[in-house]
Amino acid sequence: MQYWTGPSESHFGEGTIWTEFADEGHALRQVEKYDGKWFSSRNDSEDECWLYDGNIRDLELSDSREISKEEFEVVWQRSA
C-alpha cells in the first residue's frame, strides 16, 4: 500500500487530497478537504468526492508527498 497527500482543485475550490493506493496502483480510499469541509470516497456521489479511477503511475505527484498509513487513518477518521 502507498499513501499520498497533496494539493487538489475541484469545483469546491482549492483543497487537500489524501489517497490510499493498493500495491497494484489503483486507489482504494480517498479523502478531500475544501474550505474546512470534509469529503471522502465512503460517501462517493455526484456532488461529493470521486475516488480516483486511474493508476498511481499515471499521476503527477511532484507537489505531493508520501505519508504513513497512520497519518492517512487519522484523516480518514476525521472525515467520517
Question: Which residue bears the cell 489524501?
Answer: 18
Burial of 64 (0-12, 13-18, 19+ CB in 10 A): middle
The predicted-structure confidence for 3-20, as pLDDT tens digits, reads as follows 999 999 988 899 999 999
- Local confidence band at 47 (pLDDT 50, 70, 90 cut-offs): low
For residue 69, the surrounding DSSP H or E stretch is: helix 69-78
Residue 61 vs residue 78, higher pLDDT = 78
- Local confidence band at 45 (pLDDT 50, 70, 90 cut-offs): low
The answer to whether the Cα torsion of 55, 14, 50, 40 is positive or negative is positive
